Structure 1
């Protein structure tokens, strides 16, 4: 029986032309025997500018829906996520070779690990890449570590939420991505870190594209009042989950 990894991508018109690059990076992934991927591309909106850029492949499913932001698009895509694991791939990013197999190995080897992340390189407009210091050591990430680092370092997480690979049941139990205009992926990452151990791979897992149209580069993203509100609710959710003492996995790990 074939087992499945669901790759979820939220897309809107300005980033749609990057989809072929994302698809190539996904198509080049190699998985262990008995595993396959399925790509759910969910448009944040219902226009006619995204569909022409979606690759024609039986492993790719494209849907549209009412506009609500990338977190809403990803979460509604979960209705069709019929695999054991979910991998995030933003429309303008590219997976690095081998990342799906590495993520899968980490979670298949240890049932106490609920999610995985990996090293990121910025993909610059000229095609070059750039890394940045501060990655944690490779291996397990204990509960609360990312949250504590985030709070102590100006709301910057120690691992990148755009690289997230997560057990589907855990993702659904937490309600998917947060209903925020931005930082919805950070909110999910910190919630996951409150309830489950994670994993960090020091091998590059993602090329994170930098371009003038990306949402995180817009002025609204750094509006002080909104940013403070986002950070407050993100932290409150994570702290509350931690205080409730709910843990994943619920049962024995052996």
Structure 2
């Protein structure tokens, strides 16, 4: 039966791949890359650099497909249906790629930023493909170093404090209010700089963009003091590159427990 690897490749640094991930790369016949357009061509380029760093150039096959557009203006009650439509469109592309490019006993792979289990849709999309029944395959998941782990490592801080919980959420959820009962909150997928709403509160921020890449930017300190700098750096980086991927940890002041 066809075999598909879902490989977590870390936040961008080729050195972040695990030995398990490298072994999976070397056992793959064809790699699938989704092209997100010229503005995000860096993302495709980084994936190819990772392959070249761990495989002999020219020894592997890559098949690219255009990623379907997603309605990013949808909000409120329209948000979940918009995401569902986008996932279904992707499932159609995955179904075609696997059916046409992977032989009956061949192996394909999707390279997933960070970790496939953290705010990534690949696993859900593959399950949808299987449910359709048009193409059969089995798949495994190789965990990767997430942007969350890379963020706190680069800032030389812990993800949680002694005996205290930590929550990972999105900018959309943070806009609804700071989570109850939690003082350490990691925020991903925040296109609207929601941290600015909390600049008047007594907390620190550990922020990073393009983590693990040569373009990496890191800022930390009291939120009220460094928020304007982050806003400025973020705007300049987005203008320069045409896209930005950032993650941050908000930490309320208090005793360590």
TM-score, reference length from structure 1: 0.31
- When the two structures are superposed, what TM-score results if normalisation uses the length of structure 2? 0.30
Q: Give the greater-gyration-radius structure (CA).
A: 2
